[in-house]
Amino acid sequence: MGELAEATGVTVRTLHHYEHTGLLAATERTEGGHRMYDRESGQRVHQIRALRELGFSLVEIRKAMHH
């Protein structure tokens, strides 16, 4: 998880929040319970960040990404 946070410039807490709100989903979990993400997840986080910078709310982003 820390790798995705570092690669995308967000905090681990932000990634947890995105997952909790349905914007992001872990592709799997390690035996220790750590979340694992794929390359698409990184692209998704960058997209979320770009839309946030444009002023969109997380609710608006979630609606747009699910259509």
Give pLDDT tens digits along the chain (67 positions). 589 999 999 999 999 999 999 999 988 999 998 889 999 999 999 999 999 999 999 999 999 988 6
Q: Which residue has the tokens 């699910």?
A: 66
Residues, the chain, total? 67
10 Å Cβ neighbour count for 42?
Answer: 14
The structure tokens listed for 52 are 């946030």
Rg (alpha carbons) of the chain, rounded to whole number: 12
List, in sequence order, the alpha helices (H) in the chain. 2-8, 12-20, 39-53, 58-65
Q: Which residue has the tokens 């990634």?
A: 15
pTM above 0.75, yes or no: yes
